[in-house]
Each structure stands twice: as C-alpha cells, then as structure tokens.
Structure 1
C-alpha cells in the first residue's frame, strides 16, 4: 500500500500486525534510515540483537531467493516478533520480497530500505500494490519539516530558539535528515547544561551549511535575476554532485514566501509589514535584499514561477531527460523573468 504523507507519523509509532513488509525509500538517505529504524524498533528495541534481528545481504538473496521468507518465518529465540532488515534493495529483490508477501508463514516483520526508486520500479510497484505491505517515500525536508525537526530536537533538550535563530537554522539545514539532526544535536551540546534560549550567535557558531553549496545562493540568484551568479553557483553545484530536485524545491520555498508576502501587499500592506508577517521570519541581515527582490515579482509572475518549478520537477522524474539540464533551463527562465 502506498502510504500518504499525512499517515506516516502514525505508522512510525505503530505498524499493524497484519503488515508483513515495509519499504522505506527515497533520495534522502538520512530520513530513510531514521524512519526504517523507528519502524524496526517497534519489533526489536536493540537493532543489533542477533537473536531477534536478521540482516540478510543482497548477495544472500541472489544465492537463495527464499532466505527472506525463511528469516521472517523463523521463531525468535527470545519470543515475540522477529525483525528482518534488508538494506539498499532494488529491483533484484522483488521476487524474494514477493515470496514474503504471498506467504502466511511466521509473524516476522520485513523492513526494506531503498534509494530513489522510480515509479516504474518493480519493487516499489509490488509494495505499493500489496495489501499486507507498506511503501513509504522519503523526500527532502520541506521548510515545515525542518521547523518541526528543530522544535523536536531542541524541545527534547529543554531549549528554545529566537526567531532569528530558527530562520537561520531553516536556511542552513536540509538535504539529509540525519545530517540535519546531527547538526542540531551538536548545537544542543554546545549550549551545555545552562539551557535557555538558542540565539542567532549560537546557531552561527555551531551550524554550517549542510546543503553543501548553498541552495540559498542559487535561489537568491534566481529571484534577483542575477544570471552571472546563477550560472556560477549552478556550475559549482553540478561539480560537487548536487542533484536537481533539492535545488528546485529550495527555490520553490523561496518563491512561496515571496507569493505569501506579495498576497499581503495586494491586500494593502507595505513591503516591510508583509515581510514582518512571514514565519519563520526573514533573517535580519537579509531583509533589505528580500524586499528588494520582492519588488521585482507580481503575484501573477510568482504563480507562473511555481507552475514552471513544479513542471520541471515532474519532468526530472518522468521524462528520462537529464535532470540537471531540465533544472538549469527552468532556473534561467525564471531569472530572466526577474530582470
């Protein structure tokens, strides 16, 4: 069964006994690992316990396709359900997983992790169509996801953060959930036992740009209509192995903030009032630049920009054409519109 995003939090707390297998997949490897571990710990608190957890390799499956079913059917030496973990799976594992779904032997749970499986992937199609299986897609964190992660990690440590600090963290986290969580945990350690509130100075002291090459720089070059900077930042991004989807989505978030502010301006607010209403707030050092770029964009232009970005993302996933070319064309088109 294909799991809808709104249903994922509940499943991370409790997967039904009727579920034989769960596939967690996507480009965000950190989020894939985090969700797979949460599901696995519903069965085995210690994921390294050899008596309750089995971890067959892809090589094992190639030699004996029935090994997954054998492990799921085995009885745990300590009682309770047995957990079987299969990592880095792709289409080569489809038939072995199908054996588990088609059988009623045993009550173990198979948790599978995979990369960016396309909609045409046989493994993904099998799991999305199975009544006793779940397929959970993991996409790059949105602004709302990052704010939730920040609140969760800091809140668990008894900390809060100023609006400027939250804005800075949202701008400088992303790309990989585990890296983002690690950066926030580093910030918690930095703050120590004194507790209290995280300031912008604390955030800058601990958290670097985990998006590697500054997705902000690319997005800002587009909304400012700076073609020279855009070409330079894109070239650097491709050289370092950045992928097109995070770039497109980061720009989408910036355009959506512009659209929200422009909507308030259309209702009578001035630019400063509209920007002050945005949450998370615009970082103080960026306010003047943000308002300057906002003046270049009408509501209609922003709506068209969002349509172009959504179409580009869809093309990246479905056409088979080079994603970096699709992304670059869309960004250059929007940067020219901002001039």
Structure 2
C-alpha cells in the first residue's frame, strides 16, 4: 500500500507493529535515514538493539548471502516485543532477494524495513510494496518539515516554551537547512535552554543555528548598509586574512542588496516584503534587514545595485590593474557614504 505524504508523518511516529514491512525510498539519503531511524525507534523502542530485537543488514551483504534476510525474519528472539529487520542502501538489483523473504512473512515474524535511493514508478521493488496488502511504501522528497513535524521534534527535545515569533523563526530555519542539520539544531537548542524558564527567542535560535560560511561577509555588508564607512577597513583586513576573495565579496554584496531591494520595493510595503523572501530570514537578522531596506528605500538600492554591477564587470575585465579587494573596498566605502546621505 502507498503511504501518502499527508499520512506518512503520523505513521512514522506510530507505526503498526503487525505490518509485514515498509519500504522507504528517496533521493536524499539523510531524509530517508531520519525517517528510518524514527520508525525503527517507534517499533522496537530505545532498548531494541540491546535486546536483540533489531537486526541490520547492508544491501551489499544481502547480495553476497541472499538467505540472510529470510533467516533474520524467521529468527526467534530471546526478549518479548516487536522485532525489526532493517535492509539498508538497497537498489533495484536486490528486488529478487528481498521479495521472496517478504512473501514468506507470517504473523510473529520480524517486520521488514527496507531503505533505498530513488526508485522509478516501474521499479519491481516499489511496485511490490505498493501492491502488498500488509506492507507500505513511501517516497521521501526534498520538502522541509511541516510545522507539525517541527512541533514533534520540539516535544521530543523537551522544548515547549516557545513564543509564536520563535516558532515562526524555526519554521523559516527548517526551510534553509537540510533535515540532519535542522534536527541537530533543535537538539542543541534543547540543551542550550535546559533549565531556563525564559521562553525561547529568535536570538536563542540564532545562537544555536549552524554558522554560515558567509557570516564574515555579512559583517562587512551590515557595516556598509548601515552607513559606517570608518568600520569597513578593519573588517576588510580581517576578511583578507581569512582568504576571502574580492569576487566572492562582490557577489555577496550583490545578493545582500538584491534582498534589500526585494523588501523595499514590494507593493505591499517592506513589512510584507520581508515575509515573502525565499529563502526566508528569521530572528534578529530579519529585523536588521527590514531596518536596512526601510532606511535605503527602493530608489537608492537601485543605484547601489548599478554600482555593484559595474564593480563586478571591472573584476572580470582582463584590462584591470587594481587589486580585486581594493576595487571592492572602494565600492563598499562609496555605498556606505551613499547610505548616509538623505
């Protein structure tokens, strides 16, 4: 049977121990692994592996010994409770080794969980699980976790004291991180707030979110956008010491000012424009971008983008003589002075 995208999260949280098995497939190995981990834990509990009620079989091992799966499914455990046999990293070539063991399944046998990469609709393995009367197949796609799934992660981590603003920021963060990084961020946030009765804030989330590789570039761009030309030199020196290239800094500046322009020029106003950004921004950075966009205005931001485009063309010109960072620094100083003019 097929599990729909709407029903899958609920089943992963509360799987049926009497089912024959479950096929989880998808192109993102991390997303598949997280779902597999969730459903196995829900079936056998945290002590399942210690109580020998959980058996893991690699696809490569099954290829060498096709009887492994059938033997593991029929094996009788020493401890009471549901048993699970996981066959991971499977592809279509193993269908003929998995299907007979699942067809021979009987009540009391271990449930078979199979994980695979992308499978076509014509896949023999996928069609078998989708047509099985007592088994499920579900495709995992690159969709960010829903609000309900995020709330489940927070509950598991013991985080229930969140404001609406903090929840909004977490939903926004989930759309920018891969699922593994997001889950680790939630776990880090739970530790960060352990024993703290104060509700979670956007600043807490920002402190626990993975550090962006563009964080250092953001520092100088904020200095520029907030009209602080005297601060540009020291920040630029630090960026140069870190090996940041002029072209990368120019690209980052163009991206930042395009974001500001998108917010400032939105027909519904900057307040609505900030909410329409993709990927979304959250926490203190959201407030900062909104302030910058409102301070610049759409007309001045157009001039800033023109100046940055000219600089980018100079950087890529074969006839230039000035060093890259010198060209970019001059442009940033001009932008900062432009920001200070009313």
Q: TM-score range by the shorter chain?
A: 0.5 to 0.7
Does the residue aligned with 2:93 lie in a helix, a strand or coil? helix
Q: Deviations over 1:192-218 (max 9, x none)?
A: 3113222232222221257x789xx9x
Q: Which residue of 1 aligns with 2:43?
A: 43
2: CA distance, partners of 1:16 / 1:154: 24
1:271 aligns with 2:269: yes
Q: Deviations over 1:6-35 (max 9, x none)?
A: 111331244345521211122333332232
Check 1:122–1:79 CA distance in 2 against 1; reply closer, same or farther (3 A cut): same
Q: Deviations over 1:283-312 (max 9, x none)?
A: 2233368899xx9xxxxxxxxxxxxxxxxx
What is the deviation of 1:109? Answer: 0.1
1:284 aligns with 2:282: no
1: CA distance, partners of 2:79 / 2:193: 41
Check 1:171–1:39 CA distance in 2 against 1; reply closer, same or farther (3 A cut): closer
Does the residue aligned with 1:113 lie in a helix, a strand or coil? strand
1:194 aligns with 2:196: yes
CA radius of gyration, larger in: 2
Correspondence list, 1:87-126, <5 A: 87-105=88-106, 107-126=109-128
| Number of matched pairs | 251
Does the residue aligned with 2:80 lie in a helix, a strand or coil? coil
Does the residue aligned with 2:162 lie in a helix, a strand or coil? strand
What is the deviation of 1:162? Answer: 5.7
2: CA distance, partners of 1:213 / 1:281: 14
Q: Which residue of 2 aligns with 1:240?
A: none
Check 1:3–1:84 CA distance in 2 against 1; reply closer, same or farther (3 A cut): same
1: CA distance, partners of 2:165 / 2:147: 11
Q: Which residue of 1 aligns with 2:135?
A: 133
What is the deviation of 1:49? Answer: 2.7
Contact kept, 8 Å, 2:58 with 2:89, in 1: the verdict is no
Check 1:185–1:43 CA distance in 2 against 1; reply closer, same or farther (3 A cut): closer
Q: Which residue of 2 aligns with 1:223?
A: none
Contact kept, 8 Å, 1:24 with 1:112, in 2: the verdict is yes
Check 1:168–1:80 CA distance in 2 against 1; reply closer, same or farther (3 A cut): closer
Q: TM-score, normalised by structure 2?
A: 0.59
What is the deviation of 1:276? Answer: 8.1
Check 1:213–1:90 CA distance in 2 against 1; reply closer, same or farther (3 A cut): farther
1: CA distance, partners of 2:169 / 2:293: 14
1: CA distance, partners of 2:116 / 2:214: 25
Does the residue aligned with 2:6 lie in a helix, a strand or coil? helix
Q: CA RMSD in A?
A: 4.2
- Structure 2 gap segments, 5+ residues each: 219-246, 253-258, 299-342
What is the deviation of 1:68? Answer: 1.3
1:70 aligns with 2:71: yes
Does the residue aligned with 2:199 lie in a helix, a strand or coil? strand
- Structure 1 gap segments, 5+ residues each: 218-227, 234-253, 296-339
Correspondence list, 1:200-279, <5 A: 200-208=202-210, 270-272=268-270, 274-275=272-273
Does the residue aligned with 1:194 lie in a helix, a strand or coil? coil
What is the deviation of 1:125? Answer: 3.1
Q: Deviations over 1:83-107 (max 9, x none)?
A: 1111111123211221123224452
